[in-house]
Structure 1
Amino acid sequence: MTNKLSAGLAALFSLGTGPALAAQPVDWQMGFQPAATEIMTQIRGFESYTLWFIVPITLLVLVLLIYVMVKFRAGANPNPSKTSHNSLIEVIWTLGPVVILLALAVPSFNLLTAQYSPPEADFTVKATGYQWYWGYEYQTDEELSFDSLLLQDGERADAGKEDLATYPRLLTVDNEFVVPVGKTVRVLVTAADVLHSFAMPAFGIKIDAVPGRLNETWFNAEAEGLYYGQCSELCGKDHAYMPIAIRVVAQDKFDAWLAAAADDVEAANRNLIAAIDADAKSVDVAANVKN
């Protein structure tokens, strides 16, 4: 029993240290992706909250429709009522929706306020949408800019991204947007040609990329891992092949990656993946030794 518990805890811990933690769409997914930020946690909570109103209202309307269709059908009611109004019913169907809308509006406005009231950012990255890829510019002491394109199947081996579970087709990119865990990242979003949209479901962010305009969003990722999103604004024939990949790593790994990427971003990415894989293997070894 103890060995099984130790193995389970080690496996859970390895999700936070290796590339196994990757928020991405799954087959037959009915809900949101797991939350990786406080904002997304609030969004998921608001969704559950609204369901407490939506489900009863839907059932009530269904019951009323069935009741009216049965009770007031022509066969059962040959002499229709000539009632023109009912004061009690009119008061109920006026005040009821008002109360419900207020109950939905207050937490909704609180959530919007949290989304659009960012804390002080630790650093800023500019994300530019192109047909059909993203470009990133890190506004840090280390000057860094690179493009992030969909990784073709024939390029996986050279990039060290052959594991389809972690690096799925149509979502994997050659150069990820790398950020440190637990840091507030300000993202300036724009486009160079047509409308695009920068969306990362696990972070609870989605903002339009408009040519000639800078829009702003932010996030603070709470767990290390690899997270996937996509352009969410129809932008041409290859719109479906414009993924977004954000890799969240420990601060020391980010610092090493940022310094190396200033000279060679591809080599820095390979070194980062190797370091993450090495950490994951060390956790696996430790789990086996305990067993």
Structure 2
Amino acid sequence: MSHLIRFERTGGPEVLQWVEVDVPRPAAGEVQVRHHAVGLNYIDTYHRSGLYPLPLPSGLGQEAAGVVEAVGEGVTEFLPGDRVAYAGGPLGAYAELRNIAAQQLVKLPDSLSFEQGAAMMMQGLTAQYLLRRTYRVQPGDTILIHAAAGGVGLIVCQWAKALGATVIGTVSSDEKAALARLHGCDHAIISTREKVSERVRALTGGAGVNVVYDSIGKDTFLDSLACLRPLGMMVSFGNASGPVEAFDLGLLARMGSLFLTRPTLFTYTARREDLLAMADELFGVVASGQVRITINQRYPLQDAVTAHRDLEARRTTGSTVLIP
């Protein structure tokens, strides 16, 4: 028998349950993976709370790394003993053992640990598409990344700096500002005591930034638009403060013919060739030392309730992993 986290109703962290299950042999096209580390991501709280509705009962989690224990019929790319990692649905990464479609897995290089793999896949692939595909950052660009001391934020700061950009980040405390600066953030704005758009305009001589990467949502959306230069791009990729409220589309024209997009990782990785290319680039920048995966919290998987409480209370920085 194996164990996993399941929830039968939406709500706070207390709805998460540690249950025993029997994991069958992998079906055709599937791989059975023994998890060594599981990634914790803010999207997990959206699924648990009901912000992103799901059929219930449901598993949780979209990111993990481990070792292949068995393969189903027709699987030729993976063998028992292979080190693998993944980010994607269906939900169920909060588990000791699971079956998952082979097409969602990538091989984890020996140079990377299981914890790095679990911590980097969703956040690192998100950083990859933000910086290299949604808006392709160029030397000389100035970017704004919200939650700069978070898991995605710390990766974006380092990677954008390596690409030659000037990086402005928002954080909620002096401690998080120091952490962001250590990871390549040129200017850390403490959003709890500064108006972000005013500070951005001051830092850019009134010009504004080329792109804003905003995972906060409702509370920051309009001020993020105010940070952009004409023809700038607003990338809204999360809802930590709640979904963005309806607004007059003409506002984009009045503020400088702005571009707005709401991307998801799973659109960018839907084709296997894209997933493999994105993962290869991510693994490359980590292996080169240009990007360090900062794992600042570790919890036993069984203590997912505590991990969720700390995440939502902003008591975490960098990446967090759950250990089965």
* TM tier, smaller: under 0.3
- TM-score scaled to structure 1, two decimals? 0.21
Structure ID, larger Rg: 1
- TM-score scaled to structure 2, two decimals? 0.19
Higher percent of residues as helix: 1
Q: Comparing both chains, which one has the higher relative contact order based on Cα–Cα distances under 8 Å and sequence gaps of 6 or more?
A: 1
